[in-house]
Chain A
Amino acid sequence: MLFDVNCYLGAWPFSLVPEMNAEQLARHLDRAGVDCAAVSPLGAVFQPEPMPANRALFAALRGKRRFIPLPVVNPALANWKEQLEECAAAPGVRAVRLYPNYHDYRLTRRTLLPFVDALEHHRLRLVITARIEDERHRYFALRIKGVPVADLTAFLKANPRTVPLVTGLSVTEAIQLASGTENFLADISYQENIELAAMLRGKLSSSRLMFGTLTPLVSAAAQSGKLCAPDFSAAERRRIASTNAVRFFSGPHADRR
């Protein structure tokens, strides 16, 4: 089974990729052999408040069991509690996603502490988006960098009982983050190397890695080729392909420390 933890619905204004609806997304993932996906709304990246995009996501995914809605919360807005409550009440929601760099706040801000407490209250998991676009190829006027490893480290140390999934880290960033903290999981959407398994071994266990495609911006079929890297054992492949993601999205805080 292949479980994509980094998948989106909606339009990206700087891409030629046509917007898909949920049925089209399902067919698209079928062609790449992806069985299920946690799906976030791209609209929430640029809109001033994420809930309209989240509501559209909930409606689009309703009744589609292969998709888990992964709505976005902006904790820098005054209504973050209302956002969180509405997301927690929506069917199928197990986690919420943050876009710190696109929403112009740092993970070190104090207001994130009550936000993390509220996540626990709602029994929701956390996904942090380190980056969506490769900074080298982004639209020339969109000068947004990835979330700094130092900020992620500070956040993880300030919230040691929280184990977020961080999407969009490069191999170097993931290893750097793992050298200072243990309470995070990472997707491999930005991690690629013919020696990927060897690079990560001993630094970031396969029990902390998940498969992610960045669909629809990146070819899901191409991303699936990462699991062909030599040296991944069959058990490691299974963990990365689906086991870890199923655990993350199935029960509330199953891996809380």
Chain B
Amino acid sequence: MSIIDAHTHPVMFKRGLTRPEVDRLVKHGRTLGVRWMVGLGDVLLYGRNFTAEQIVEVNDDSAKVQAMYPDYFRFFCFLNPRLGEKAVMGEVERCVDKYGFIGIKLEICNNARDACMKPVMEAARRWKLVVLQHSWSQTNIRQRSFHTDPADTATLARRHPDVPIIMAHLTGCGVRGVLEVKELDNVTVDTSGGLADEGLLEYAVEHLGANRIIHGSDLPGRSIGVSIQRVLGSRLSVSEKERILFSNAARLLNLG
């Protein structure tokens, strides 16, 4: 079964940029059946207050990895929405035109319900990009001023129903997160984040349908072997597993 890993960080804190490191990662992914790896950038390199120059540096690093294996990696453009419309639009245009990036990645620079998200979503609309929003239940973490709860991702999706959104981290969002986005057809959920809670994937399929879930590992902090086995070892049907591991992401991200 071919697999797409739709949530990876091949470069993390500047590790993973060298040719031998990239070779090793690709070899490992291919050994486990990963056909495409979707990279999201070195999104914690400078904390949560990235300058425009630092954003460019992260996206350029992503492009370097993509250039080494153009038939294996696709990257999302990492943004800091707080830098404003001009910076956001300029960086998206640069990353799409120069590197062919296929989506927008948002981490913890701000909460997804903040007003600064408007130009980000406009950029996604203009360049027909998918937006991947880091999302994690804030029930216990309590960082909601800058850290997005699944309820905030749902607010974002409700405001922009024409923009496809990936709510990252099924485990971090949990049962409540699944229910927050249940009625929002423009939201897909990726399977990454934390230990693979027993039964949560099946719960997500029951409430969202298998077509709205895509496989992601969140490597390097997590492992591809675990994320794949979470799907393959679930009680889902072969067809549902295949959609989660490959077809849904292939369709959403135009990956053949």
Contact = CB atoms under 8 A, between A and B. Distances in A.
Contacts, number: 110
Nearest to B173: A137
Interface stretch (A40-48, A94-102, A110-118, A216-224): A216-224
B115 interface: no
Contacts of A215: 198
B166 interface: no
B233 A137 contact: no
* Chain B, interface residues (CB within 8 Å), range: 35 or more
Contacts of B223: 192-194, 196, 225-226, 228-229
A222 B229 contact: yes
A135 B27 CA distance: 34
Interface in A2-34: 15-17, 31-32
Given A16-B199, A225-B226, A193 B220 contact: yes
Given A16-B203, A222-B233, A228-B32, A134 B195 contact: yes
A219 B225 contact: no
A214 interface: yes
A216 B200 CA distance: 12
Contacts of A189: 195
A218 B197 CA distance: 4
B219 to A, nearest CB: 4
B113 interface: no
Interface in B197-256: 197-199, 201, 203, 217, 219-230, 232-234
A195 B21 CA distance: 11
A194 B220 contact: yes
Contacts of B141: 136
Interface residues of A, number: 35
Interface in A121-180: 134-138, 140
B93 to A, nearest CB: 32
Nearest to A31: B233
B60 to A, nearest CB: 23
A227 interface: yes
A136 B25 CA distance: 29
Of the candidates B25, B141, B225, B232, the one having the most CB atoms from chain A within 10 angstroms of its own CB is: B225
Given A32-B233, A192-B222, 13 more contacts: A16-B199, A136-B136, A136-B140, A137-B171, A189-B195, A190-B195, A218-B196, A222-B229, A223-B229, A225-B224, A225-B226, A227-B225, A228-B229
23 contacts: A15-B199, A136-B141, A136-B194, A137-B137, A137-B197, A140-B139, A140-B140, A192-B223, A194-B28, A194-B219, A216-B198, A217-B197, A218-B198, A219-B196, A220-B198, A221-B233, A222-B195, A223-B229, A225-B224, A226-B226, A227-B225, A228-B226, A230-B28
